[in-house]
Amino acid sequence: MTTVSALPQRIEGDVGSMAWWSGQFTRVQDRLEDLRDAVARASTVSGAGESVRAVRDDAERLLTTIDVDIGEAALLAIVLQDYADAHERHAQRANALVEDIEMAEADWMQRSEDAADAAGVALVVAGAGVGLFTDLAQNAATEATQARDLSWQHLSALRSEYERHFTNWDAAYDEALAALAGGASASLTPEARAVFERLLGADDSAEVLALWNAHPELHDELLDARPDLLGNLDGIPYIDRSAANESVLRALYDSDLEEPLRSEVDALYSEVVFNDARLISFDASGSEQATAALWYGEFDAHRISVLVPGMNSNVAGIGEWGVSAGDINGAVPDSATIVWFGYDSPSVLEEPGMHRAEDGAAAFTGFLNGLDELAPSAELNVVAHSYGSTMSALAIGSQPDGLGVDRFITVGSAGLPNDEAILDNLQSSSAPAIFATMADGDVWAPIGQLTAFGHNTSPTQLDGVTVFDSDGGVTSAGDVLIATPGHAAHEGANSLWWDADDAPGGYLLDGSESFYNVQQIIATGAPGTEAGGEGSAPDWSPYYSGGYYPYGSGW
């Protein structure tokens, strides 16, 4: 039987932005060359005396280093422009084919069903022995089969064209990485440089890990030369990545920084130094905001959980997420928890769209693949708040196996992607178990779902989802659990009718029913309290009356 492969992926990239940066680096090169000429003149200035000699000495020292900077600026300008040209020639054409392929696949699937139905009718009519109708049914079956085959040929042609453009783009991408690696690794020995280039050009985290493990004698040299790149390369063991990233962090911490980077670096430094967190990824300048991931616990833990924040989150607020990570590890045996601030979270105006989710999902997919490669036997949980669940679902649902995730827990979800392929994968037999909660007083998550362009699906609408409570309860030991009054993940309420100073905490605050259930799901695979059971509180909304809630129980 003919089968169709997975839908082709869109290739991210902004040609205009790349061309702009290429122009900027060209201008930097020009300015540095002007500076070099001025310094060269200063190195030959006439005169005597200590001050003149000091000027000449300083100029000579600067001349020995400035050519390297000029070379790097020139290299970056050329590589970026060449890659922008290749992206325009191949990636954009590949992306333009994605929608055509989706439509052609839908047409082929429909015509395949039509052909199967027509063949069945022809078989039944032939068995009835009615000559005229037998011929008509057979002709209809033949025509349906021919239409199906033509549809398949059209789909195959589109896919072949896509693969050609994708292959050409992939080659250009590898060439760009190799060129950057060559320029960035001039201080490496030839052996280390060759491995460095292969690491950057590897197709997946499995290939990265195999290369890394094959050359232990080069680890120190590679990490010392490019900690910024290797500290974020999925597939390299986290103990090595954290050492590289923490060296970059310490250098930044000792530098003069402007806001918001100063607050972001301070927050990460505090977690690493005072809370024994390990910095397994860190990019201070490559995104619109600093991105990072912190690991709490032992690297060989059997249960690994990933906490993903939502809208308006940034690294400066990572400390309260670190508290939640420690609380999970304290409640769950043999547990480690990752706080993943690895994407540019959306603003209020951006939240209805999918742009931030799509960019974040690309990074999160690579991260989860790398995590699964490094800890294949561990139980993997993703706990996502608000828009973090939108982004996480897009990544986890990109493959039927959920990228190795065992449990996907959403709290106050802003809505899952509407894409049918994503939703089908999230409900496949090999998908992770999905759990969801929405506090009665949380009005922002329903508004996020209602006003969204592309993520209107409530997790509770999916088959097999386990809904758990967050409105107050009692543990099996008789401990009273507080309710979540609004949309906040931690302190405050983020509610229309609660003052933040007076409100109980959010979904992931220790002592709340929501967070207790999250801990129990990670530890046992099931919530710890009964839905609507003992201690369940009434709706926080002032509009609550006799069980009425304006958004309905489905939210």
Final residue of a domain: which of 163, 184, 205?
184
Residue 555 is assigned to a structural domain of this protein:
no
Pick the closest to residue 279 from 211, 328, 228, 327 (CA basis): 228
User: Out of 4-8, 44-48, 351-355, 417-421, which region has the weakest mean confidence (pLDDT)?
Assistant: 4-8
pLDDT level of residue 39 (50, 70, 90 thresholds)? confident
- Span 460-501, pLDDT tens digits: 989 999 999 998 888 888 889 988 888 889 876 554 444 445
- Span 212-257, pLDDT tens digits: 999 999 999 999 988 988 999 999 999 999 999 999 999 999 999 8
Structure tokens at 458: 């409530």
514/30: higher pLDDT: 514
Strand 303-308 to 379-385 pairing: parallel
Check: CB of residue 284 under 8 Å from CB of residue 261: yes
Q: Specify whether 296 is located in the same domain as 178.
A: no
pLDDT at 5 over 60: no
Residue 43 is assigned to a structural domain of this protein:
yes
pLDDT at 190 over 70: yes
Q: Specify whether 176 is located in the same domain as 319.
A: no
440/433: higher pLDDT: 433
Residue 242 is assigned to a structural domain of this protein:
no
pLDDT at 516 over 50: yes
**What was the pLDDT predicted at 494?**
53
Q: Specify whether 361 is located in the same domain as 509.
A: yes
Q: Specify whether 363 is located in the same domain as 486.
A: yes
Residue 21 is assigned to a structural domain of this protein:
yes
The neighbour count for residue 36, using CB atoms within 10 Å, is 16
Q: Specify whether 312 is located in the same domain as 449.
A: yes
Using alpha carbons only, what angle is made at residue 60 by residues 54 and 62, rounded to the nearest 5 degrees?
100
Check: CB of residue 519 under 8 Å from CB of residue 503: no
**What was the pLDDT predicted at 548?**
30
* Mean pLDDT confidence for 450-464: 89
Check: CB of residue 206 under 8 Å from CB of residue 373: yes
Q: Specify whether 180 is located in the same domain as 321.
A: no
pLDDT level of residue 315 (50, 70, 90 thresholds)? very high
Q: Specify whether 488 is located in the same domain as 374.
A: yes
Q: Specify whether 179 is located in the same domain as 298.
A: no
Domains contained in the chain, number: 2
Residue 281 is assigned to a structural domain of this protein:
no
Residue 461 is assigned to a structural domain of this protein:
yes
Domain that holds residue 53: 15-184
Contacts 24+ apart (CB under 8 A), 390-393: 390/354, 390/357, 390/414, 390/415, 390/416, 390/417, 390/455, 391/308, 391/343, 391/356, 391/357, 391/360, 391/361, 391/364, 392/308, 392/361, 392/364, 393/417, 393/422, 393/426
Which CATH number is 491's domain given? 3.40.50.1820
The neighbour count for residue 485, using CB atoms within 10 Å, is 29
Q: Specify whether 20 is located in the same domain as 163.
A: yes
Residue 305 is assigned to a structural domain of this protein:
yes
Which CATH number is 113's domain given? 1.20.1270
* Mean pLDDT confidence for 498-516: 77
Strand 278-283 to 303-308 pairing: unpaired
Average pLDDT, the chain: 84
Q: Specify whether 370 is located in the same domain as 510.
A: yes
pTM score above 0.85 = no
Final residue of a domain: which of 184, 211, 234?
184
Residue 214 is assigned to a structural domain of this protein:
no
Final residue of a domain: which of 184, 212, 232?
184
pLDDT level of residue 68 (50, 70, 90 thresholds)? low
**What was the pLDDT predicted at 130?**
60
- Span 387-424, pLDDT tens digits: 999 999 999 999 989 999 999 999 999 999 999 999 99
Using alpha carbons only, what angle is made at residue 119 by residues 116 and 125, rounded to the nearest 5 degrees?
145
Q: Specify whether 439 is located in the same domain as 314.
A: yes
User: Out of 55-59, 109-113, 354-358, which region has the weakest mean confidence (pLDDT)?
Assistant: 55-59
**What was the pLDDT predicted at 371?**
96
